[in-house]
Amino acid sequence: MARKFDGGKLVIATHNSGKVVEIADLLAPFGADLVSAGKLGLPEPEETGSSFIANAELKALAATKGSGFPALADDSGLVVPTLGGDPGIYSARWAGPSKNFQSAMRKVEDGLRGEKDRTSRFVSALTLAWPDGHTVSVEGTVRGELTWPPRGDRGFGYDPVFVPVGYDITFGEMDPVEKHQISHRADAFRKLVDLCLKS
């Protein structure tokens, strides 16, 4: 059920600096006082959910419980149908404890070797949670194709191998302002704005 966020402090429930920047940019017009879970020293909960939304809810609830403030969590990843949907909810785990996305991108490419179908999509689930346990969750997507070798040093994660539909450049090459207009996170965020942030 929808609930309006009425401003004040909001915890971005992540330790990923790239996500913090993207989410902060998307939230800039709403005047929230943002702080990341990493800055607050909150532990990262184990992601035991079986879907993007389940993991986003888990992270948002952990952050709101640990901080006493509303919290916004994102769980996102790359879904490749030819790989049976992998890496999917395990996208970050494919990069290992050291967050080596060069290795993760190579693993995806190795799995696609010889395959003609390189379609893929990024998925982002966003959950806004309040200290009383109420949550609002949405999901957004952006479709594209995978390319190799990686191109561009903007963005993070799998961005350098993802070319969105209608473009000939990767998210890794794209100006962040343009990416924020078409990304999976932007798609999810528009839905969340309609439910929780519009007055």
Catalytic (active-site) positions: 75
Whether the CB-CB separation of 78 and 72 falls below 8 Å is answered with: no
Hey, is 101 helix, strand or coil?
helix
Give residue 41's Cα distance to chain centre.
20
Element of type H or E holding 135: strand 135-146
CA distances from 49 to 45, 56, 63, 122 (A): 11, 9, 16, 18
Give the other-Cβ count within 10 Å of 117's Cβ. 11
Sequence-distant (≥ 6) Cβ neighbours of residue 17 within 8 angstroms: 38
Hey, is 157 helix, strand or coil?
coil
